[in-house]
Structures are given as structure tokens and as C-alpha cells.
Structure 1
Amino acid sequence: MSNENKKYETAIFAGGCFWCMVSPFDVLDGIVEVKSGYTGGHKENPTYKEVKSQTTGHYEAIRIIYDPSIISYEKLLDVYWRQIDPMDDGGQFHDRGDSYRTAIFYTTEEQRIKAEESKKALEESGRFPEPIVTKILPASTFYLAEEYHQDFYKKSPVEYKADRKISGRDEFIQKYWGDEYYSIYEK
């Protein structure tokens, strides 16, 4: 079957620094592309500097184009929840401010329902000691981030690893998911 005949879908997730959100999805089978960008705000065509100033209302986010015949939206949600601190509404790890908050931006009613179900299941699991504050919002215009932000983990691996190391993200993931974190990458 050629790519022209495939029906791809889009998922949009905000999970703090978009640099750290790309690589966990990029390695999954069924992912066509993962792009960094901005969404959810009021400023058209925002720049990184504008978004980082916390004046645009935008979230740093990733847009995932995927093949639902290979990977399900539920699987993407499972990967997403394991990348973030869903209890923190003030940003993520060392990145503070509204642009670093978490949110699932649904593109269809089916995605909204699945996102709500996954959030409820996570809340009921008792894994986290505080309420889950990650918002589930309708998708709006997604603006691509500047080219130097795209695939940052590949283009600037030293800076990426250094930033990720000081962020506290990996320690959080280890604390709340441990070795179970890696089970999401098993087929």
C-alpha cells in the first residue's frame, strides 16, 4: 500500500519543553512525523521569544502525525502521561510559566473521549498523590516552531542531554514509573 492511500491522524500534546517531548514519540512504530510548535494562545504566528515571554497564551507543544493502523491514539496517550508531571499546573520541572503547562489538544470528538477516559483511569490508579491538572482542550491552530527547534535532540544532542539532565524530568519519571516506563516501548 502506498503512502497516498494511507489515512494519517494528528495528535497534539503539550508537556513542558517541547525538546524533551519529541524523542519519546519519534521512536515509536507508526509515527510519520513529530514537530515542535505553539498552540492554544491568541497571538498569530508567535516566535519562541514571544511564547517564552508568557504573553501569547500559547503552550509549547508537539504535533504528531501517525498511522492509526499501526499505532493507536490510546498508545500515544499512554506514552504522553509517562513524559509529564500531570500534577503541576505551573509548568514542567525546571521550566516554569504558562507556556510550559501540560495539555492534550484533541482534534476529534473520539480523541476527546479517549483523552478523558485515560485521564480518569490515571486519576483512579492512585499513582500520583495529588490531583491530575492536565487540561484536555480542543485543538486550535498549531504554529510550527523555528527550524532550530525541530528534532533538537538529534541536531544538538549535547545541549539536549544537558538540559534534560538538569530539568528533573528523568528523576520524576523514574520515581513515578520506574522500570514500568520502558514497557510502553515494547511491542
Structure 2
Amino acid sequence: MTPGAGQEKELRADAARNRARILQVARARLAAGDNSLQLNAVARLAGVGVGTVYRHFPNRHALVEALSAERLRELVDEAQAAASADDPLTGLRRLLGFALDRMLDDPDFAAVLESAGDTGAQTSDLKAELDRAVTGLLNGVRLTGAVRSSVEADDVRRLLCGVAHAVRSGSGEVKDLYLDVLLQGLRPPR
């Protein structure tokens, strides 16, 4: 049985080539401005059968997750660096800005972060790793008194998704303002 999206089982050489070709075509479609990522069209352009695409990626979201894996890994690395920063509050602000920039640059990446359910094991694993790093960061920021004790990593991710939506629906000029509002909202009540 061929593994689904995000599974780490070893693929046969031909299956691995097909998966890589599908991802290459999908990236090229996105770069060309086609955000639809219709799996039938991707299959045709990749020179594989529709069944092959669906075996690797059962739906568009699974394909988007696979395409977002590299960005998600970068976000995890940034969160780990922020958690080990000398000033945790500065690390949190830097992490939120980094994540927001990527979400605004790539709406599909934002959809992966917003999604409550993951299609692939790789996405679930990376999100869990991200949450662990953000939890460590929040614990450090709590020691400075700058974050409510009830705020969890998942809350921060959801709130940031809301900020990204607000910035996209307005103008990019409000990004820093909205980030400041988010950080102020994380503070404990007076």
C-alpha cells in the first residue's frame, strides 16, 4: 500500500519520483498564480494518472500540507530559536512577526496553520513540535509577567491566524499595529 500524504514510509522508487513530480508541478502552478491546485489538472501536467495523485494526496489540503512542510519546518526552527532567546518577550514578538509574514505571503500556508485537523502525519508532527517550542517560549515570557497564565501555544496560533485574516482584509500597513494589539492582549489583566 502506498502511504498517504505526510506519511514517512519508504516509497518505491517510481512512487517517490511520481510524488516528487506532483509536488514540482503543484509548486510551478502556484508560482504561475494558479492557486486552485485542482488535482486532475496537477495529474495531467505531471504526466501521471489521477489515481496516482489521489493515492499520494487524497485531497487539495493534503497537497497543500506537503507543499507547506518546508515553511512549517522553518517556523518550528524560528520558534525554537525564540524560546532560547535571552529576552523571551523579544523572541515572542520576533516569532509572531516571522509567522505573520509567512502567512501573509502564502495563504495556503496560513490554511495549514489554521486547520484543526491535519491530513498528514508530518504536518501533525511539525505542529506538535511547534506547540512544544511555543509553550517553552510562553513559559519564559510568563516569568516576565507579560503573558496570561491561561494562554497556551494553540491559542497563540489561532490568534495569529485572526491577525493574518484582519491584515489581509485591510491593508498591510496595519500589520505592526495588529501585532502590538495581539501582544497587549496576551498580557495579564491589571
Structure richer in helix, relative to its length: 2
- Which is higher, the Rg of structure 1 or of structure 2? 2
Which fold has the larger relative contact order, with Cα–Cα distance below 8 Å and residues 6 or more apart in sequence?
1
Q: What is the TM-score normalised by the length of structure 1?
A: 0.29
Larger strand proportion of the pair: 1
